[in-house]
Every structure is written in structure tokens, then in C-alpha cells.
Structure 1
């Protein structure tokens, strides 16, 4: 771990965040994994809020010791949390993805009502984008968000699925089509919906192979009404809001991938140096040397790409000018997490398949989601290539 792109203040923050999470998250990580203990999750979220860690993205609201907080520091936090428990990190990453558009696009009154509790660690946020026929192709959204002139309310009808923090979130940002007569990029709106609001229900939560402790499920809206001031930004202009959120989310996922990859690497290298086979240490075998070398260079590459993207963001680069770099960070870091998790299990052999001999099998299950959530690896490649081949439109 070289931290080439991080300055001394960033490195000091990493150590501070690491020590904090070892004290607050590490003792609860097993309960989150084995018992899906939501109370443990909330305890850590509350502690993060009290320590100002949930305000790192919002310099105007941050009251901690950092002089220039930003996405770089939020990503470092994501990396260190994912090293210990990726399911927990998913919860706070989703909350930040909710906080971001609230901070930037909500009216002052709505910001104060919904954003402040999230940043204080007192409430949890969620984002409603994915639907039955909508994943990477968010323009195909079927949820409707229509304005009732008579009551001055936004009326939401639709069905969202694979929603992190579904049923436990205190506030939801819901994206839907407000003008079906035009392309989604010109007819999508986003509204804020408080958790448990009338017209909102939660048909079921999913049981995933990994990320145990992260609650993910379905949210249905049937004539769900919120006041006019719960609109984010302007009517029909939420596609731009969503795209700006994705750049931020992909960089954060770069940090998540790094944390998982580093955790797998440390377990694998420790085993390779302590386990003997055929009269010598396992790590002395040429094949294992090859695995370790590839894990190492992949992690360094992911680190450089991830913190390049965050430093660009913090310097003011946004929109399409950041899309390629954020996609590269997400792609390489999450693919690296999967590679390292796989090589870790293989290095440990039978021990890597059991819960009795450590976290390798958990990391393997957790990592598999990373190349799918927040945009698939295939979608990331499309975004990268679209910047390099601007005169072509790939056949998706």
C-alpha cells in the first residue's frame, strides 16, 4: 500500500479512520455477518455521525479536524470499512448516495429536515432507481412521478427492487418518469419520500449469497403522495442528478473494492508464509508467488485509478469529464476484489471454504456483488469506451 496520490493529511486521516473503525466496527462485524444485526449497524452509523465522518463529502457542513474534506476522504473511509465488513460499508455508502442529492438539490427546509439526521448518524437513507426491467438501462424506468395540481402533491406509482436499506431507511430518494412524452433524459424527476409514508410498502427483502447484514429488498408505491417541496432540483431534470450521483458512487465503490481486495490479500499472504506443504512454505511455490504478485499489482493499479478519480472530483472535475475515470476506478477495483477473493480461497484450500477457519469464504461471497452493484463491469467498459470512441454508439 503506497498511497502515491495521497498527501500527508490524507494518510493521517487513513490511520485515524482505521483506528476508529477497529474500535467501533470490528467488534460488531461478526454479529453483522452471522446475525444480520441491524442494531449493531445502527450503533456504528451513529458513531460515524458523531465523529463527523458522514459529513466528509460536504465541506460546508463538516466540523471535524480536516482542513479540506472531500470525496477522497469518504473513499478512504469506505476502503477501511470494507476491509472489515463490506456489508456495513454498503449501508453507509447508500446513505451517502442519498445525502449527496439532498445536499445539492433539495430546498433549505427539506435539506434540514432529511439531510441533517443522516449526517448525524441518526437516520438512514435509500435510493430508488432499479426496477424489474431497469438496471444499467435506467432510461427504461417505468415508475411514474406525476404532479397533482389540485392538491399540490407529487404522486408516485411504481415498483423498485434491489434497494439497499429497503424497509429500514428513514428517507428515500425516488426516481421516476414525470413526462413520458419525451426521452427519459428530459422527463425524469426525483422526489424525497419519508420512510413508512402512506402509499409505500415493502413486499419482501432478499436473501443474498453475500453482504449479510446489508438489508436489500423491494419498495412498492401506490398513489404515494408527498408535498410539492419534496421535489429535488427542477421537474423533468432528475436524469442529470442521477448521472452526477453515479460518478460519486463509482469512486466510492473503488474504495470498497480496494478494502475487500486488501483484506483477501492479507489473509492469503499470511497463510502462504505460515503453511508448509511438501517440505517448504506454501508461499515458496512458484505458482503461489505468481498469485501474490498479480494480487499485488492489481491492488496498486486499483488504488491509483481510484484516488486519481477522487482527487479529480475534489478539484472540481465533474459530469462527463469525470465519467471515464470514475468508471475505470469502479471497474478495476471491483474486478480486483473478485480476483483477490478467489485467489485467497484457493491459497487457503479447504480452510478457505469454511467459516471455522477465518473470513476467506465471507470475502469471496461478498466480493461477487461488487462487479454488479452500482453498474456492472460491462456497463463500466461501455462508459470508458464511449469517451474513447465518441463518434460511435455501441450496440448494447
Structure 2
């Protein structure tokens, strides 16, 4: 393959990068970057060009064996960091997405499933399902989205009822756009247990193993980008799990989901930074080597404008992303964290789309062919970012809602 860009590697830090990070955080970034260069980078071609799920899973296993899936859980982590947390999971996400965003998606799903298991599961359930996810030998999935439910959980149709005769929970419902559907070993399922209560008061979360009778996977989706990801539908028909598989309290699922979404959005913000920075490096490399009209392309005023805008937006996105991560690690949670998490997600994912689009423009025809490097892949991959984990429009609602709490917006 001819490559129009000298380097598609992870972004080389500028003097301003990592402004909010400590020396220990920066050392961890270097550690992670080296590990991913050996464990993930060799798999990237199989993931992108062969849509190879086995390569994704191989990479996840390597990440788990390195202990990086335990970064969110200080009581389980045994690595080099003195105080591991979301900041470091976000660094991991950023560095992984710089190599392959589809791979990072599976990391995010694993952590999103591990979070409620670690925080809200009964001890025996936690010990059964959490270790495999954290060591990378098993895969987790989160089941929220439905045909009429995306950002608006109030319309959830999945129903969960308790059967006192057997001491079991029974699930009936249909979920779609579920990352790792059919390949995950453990599913965190959200459904309504109290029809009479408001949606935020009548939702419950359960742990459901894949082998449970009544689970089926009708369809896998094909996306414009994110090759290697497995995303599809999950149907629950009379699915029964033991009463102990309840996460937290009955009707307490919305609070669990809110906490999960907060850190999921921050981790995704890190992934968006990784995509934006890789695109930016491709653009700047090309602008400094391509000759047109007797000059380097980068000498053109309009190209300078695109480079300057990308650079400024990336720095802004980084600052707001790692501020949110540091706030989480300092103890901010729930509704208090919702606004900074939404701001990080909005800014970083829109930045990824902008940088990927402008990079294609800088490269011209080379930017829209697979034969000339990764620009077209980043363009396709980035487009999902302002949609998944809550749309940009939903992020704006959360931000403005926190600023004007007396008003109820017309969604």
C-alpha cells in the first residue's frame, strides 16, 4: 500500500499536551503507548481490513492480562500507579483509539459492564462475572437501547418481573445497537419493573449470562465505520435469572445507568481525542511534504486555517476531557458529574469529526482512498462518536439543563 503520510502512529505530544496530568499520569501514558504498540498495532490491519472479531478479542485479552481493565477499580489494580482511576482509563482509551477506534469501543463496553458489577453486584455474583471481564478472557455488554429508546429511557419497553415461586427475575424485551451482542459472555440488562412509577423510579438492572435460555441475537449491524466491532440486537423471551443477579436495589436501575453513562462518556471523549490527534498528524505530515504549485501544501493560507482550527480544537477538547476525568477521580458523581461529562463528550466527539473531515480535505483525493493511508478510515470511524453514548443534542440538553434548572426544555 502506498501511504501519502510518513507517520500514522499515535500523536507525538506538544508542549501543551497533558497540561492537567501529573508526572505519574504522563509516565503511564508512555507505558500504555509502548504496550499497545506491541499488542494492538500488529492487529489493526486484521481488524480494519478483515473485520476480524478474533483480533479484537485477542487485543482485549492482552489488555486484560496487562491489568489495564482494572484501572477503574483501585481495590483490584496491581500496576505501577499509586492512585489509578478514570484519568488512566481515559488515557488508555485515547491511546487505543489512536491506533484503532473499533478496538477501543470494546474496551469501553468492557468497562461499562464491569462498573455496575464491581459497584452494585452481590459478592457471589461479582466473583462469578467480574474477574473474566477484567482479565480479558470474557466480554461484557450493556443492554439499554431499544427501537423507541435511545437517549430517552422513559420509553423503555423491556419488562422485568419477579417470580416469587422460583425466586427468579423474568425478562421480556428487545434491545438494539448493543455493542458485543452475540459475542459477549455477560449482559447488563436494564428494564422496567414498576409501570406505575416514572421511568427514573421504576427501572431495574440485572446480570444475565449469555447461556441463559430465552436469549437470542436476531441481527448484527453493518456500519459505515468501526469495522471489527460486533453490534447487533438482543431479544429476551421469558429469560430467567436468579434473584441474586439483581444489581443494586429494585427500581434503582436509573441511578446505576446514570453513573455508567457519566464515565462512559468521559472514556469516549478520550477515544475521540485519539482519533482527532491521529487525523491531525496525518494532515500536518501531508501539508509539510506535499508540493503543489511549486510550494509545500502547508504554505497555502487556507490550509494554515484548517491546521490552526484542528490544533486549537484538540487542545480545548483535551482540557475539558481530562478535567472531567479528574473530577470523577476526585469523587464527583451522579448529576453533579453529568454536565462536565456531557461537555467533554460533546466537545471531543465533535472535534474528532471536524479533524477527520478536514484531514480528508487537506489530502484531497488521497484522503478518500484506502490505498493512501488511514484518513478515510478515521473519517468513517469518527462519524459514530457524536451519536453513541448519547447524541450531541442530548449532551447539549444536559449542559443547558444544569445551567437553567428551573426550565424544562421541549425535547
Give the aligned length.
396
Q: Distance in 2 between matches of 1:288 and 1:194?
A: 52
Q: Distance in 2 between matches of 1:312 and 1:182?
A: 32
* Partner SS, residue 173 of structure 1: strand
Cα shift at 1:316: 0.4
Q: Distance in 2 between matches of 1:18 and 1:301?
A: 22
Aligned to 1:150: 165
Matched, 1:127 2:142: yes
Aligned to 1:100: 115
Relative contact order (alpha carbons < 8 A, sep ≥ 6): 1 or 2 greater? 2
Matched, 1:76 2:68: no
Aligned to 1:29: 44
Matched, 1:343 2:358: yes
Matched, 1:383 2:398: yes
Q: Distance in 2 between matches of 1:81 and 1:287?
A: 31
1:105-164: CA deviation from partner (whole Å, max 9, x where unpaired): 001111110001100111000000000000010121000011111111100000000000
Aligned to 2:32: 17
* Partner SS, residue 124 of structure 2: helix
- Equivalence map 1:211-226=2 (5 Å): 211-226=226-241
1:351-388: CA deviation from partner (whole Å, max 9, x where unpaired): 10100000000000000000000000000000000011
Aligned to 2:75: 60
Q: Distance in 1 between matches of 2:260 and 2:56?
A: 24
Aligned to 1:308: 323
RMSD: 0.6
- Equivalence map 1:237-248=2 (5 Å): 237-248=252-263
Q: Distance in 2 between matches of 1:394 and 1:179?
A: 26
Matched, 1:5 2:13: no
Cα shift at 1:196: 3.1
Cα shift at 1:36: 1.4
- Equivalence map 1:143-222=2 (5 Å): 143-222=158-237
Aligned to 2:289: 274
Runs of 4+ with deviation above 4 angstroms: none
Matched, 1:38 2:53: yes
Q: Distance in 1 between matches of 2:210 and 2:280?
A: 39
Aligned to 2:9: none
- In structure 1, stretches of 5+ residues that fail to align are none
Q: TM-score, structure 1 length as denominator?
A: 0.99
Q: Distance in 1 between matches of 2:228 and 2:52?
A: 6
* Partner SS, residue 207 of structure 1: coil
Cα shift at 1:321: 1.3
- In structure 2, stretches of 5+ residues that fail to align are 1-13
Matched, 1:373 2:402: no
Of 365-374 and 40-49, deviating more is 40-49
Aligned to 1:118: 133
* Partner SS, residue 247 of structure 2: coil
Aligned to 2:247: 232
2:376 is aligned, of 357, 361, 367, to: 361
Cα shift at 1:39: 1.5
Q: Distance in 2 between matches of 1:322 and 1:241?
A: 14
- Equivalence map 1:84-95=2 (5 Å): 84-95=99-110
